[in-house]
């Protein structure tokens, strides 16, 4: 009688991308750094958004995400539909837009939230939108996992 023993070594990889670090975003607008970042080979992107917020009643910094086929944004898309759950036909496309509302920490006067998305294209770009009518500091970093 032979006894077999197997050791499973999970082959996972990860990567950190810093889209914005201590970046100033003007009042009431969205911004883009223009280039798309290569994320092919990973399965998920975990986007960490942190922004300056003085009071609970201030408007948030929202986040838009776009996937594309190359670093210039070829065939880019911010809208998606997911039929994996065997949903009925004629599903509407959804905008990849996340609200930062309700993420205020209080002291030290910051808000933060994390967005986990499947990788839906080999390149990605993020677009923060400052909804508050005043300039703010923000950070957006990503943790890619396979």
Q: What domains can be seen in the chain, in order of their start residue?
A: 14-145 (2.60.120.380)
| pLDDT tens per residue across span 5-59 | 555 555 678 999 999 999 999 999 999 888 899 999 999 999 999 999 999 999 9
Task: Round to whole Å and give the CA distance between 1 and 53.
Answer: 67
Kindly report, residue by residue over 54-84, the tens digit of the pLDDT: 999 999 999 999 999 999 999 998 888 776 7
| Residues forming beta bridges with residue 86, ordered by sequence position | none
- Predicted local distance difference test score (pLDDT) of residue 137: 97
Helix (H, G, I), strand (E, B) or coil at 10: coil
- What is the per-residue pLDDT across 89-134, written as a single tens digit (0 to 9) for each? 777 888 789 999 999 998 889 999 999 999 999 999 999 999 999 9
Of 14, 30, 20, 16, the closest CA to residue 50 belongs to 20
**Total-model pTM:** 0.86
Question: How far, CA to CA in Å, does 140 sit from each of 53, 115, 117, 126?
Answer: 15, 11, 15, 9
Q: How far apart are CA 60 and CA 53, in angstroms?
A: 8
Nearest to 63 by CA among 47, 40, 43: 47
Work out the angle at residue 145's Cα, subtended by the Cα atoms of residues 142 and 146, and round it to the nearest 5 degrees: 150
> What's the rounded Cα separation, in Å, for the pair 143 and 71?
19
Closest CA to 99 of 67, 76, 131: 131
């Amino acid at each position: 009688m032979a006894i077999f023993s197997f050791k499973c070594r999970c082959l996972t990889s990860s990567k950190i991308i810093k889209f914005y670090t201590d970046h100033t975003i003007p009042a009431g607008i969205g911004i883009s750094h223009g280039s798309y970042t290569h994320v092919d080979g990973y399965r998920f992107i975990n986007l960490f958004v942190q922004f300056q917020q003085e009071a609970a009643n201030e408007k948030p910094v929202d986040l838009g995400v776009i996937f594309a086929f190359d670093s210039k944004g070829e065939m880019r898309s911010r809208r998606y539909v997911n039929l994996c759950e065997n949903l009925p036909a004629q599903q509407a496309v959804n905008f990849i837009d996340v609200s930062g509302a309700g993420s205020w920490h209080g002291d030290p006067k910051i808000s933060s939230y994390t967005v986990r998305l499947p990788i839906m294209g080999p390149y990605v770009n993020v677009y923060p939108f400052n909804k508050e009518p005043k300039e703010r500091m923000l950070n957006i970093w990503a943790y890619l996992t396979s």
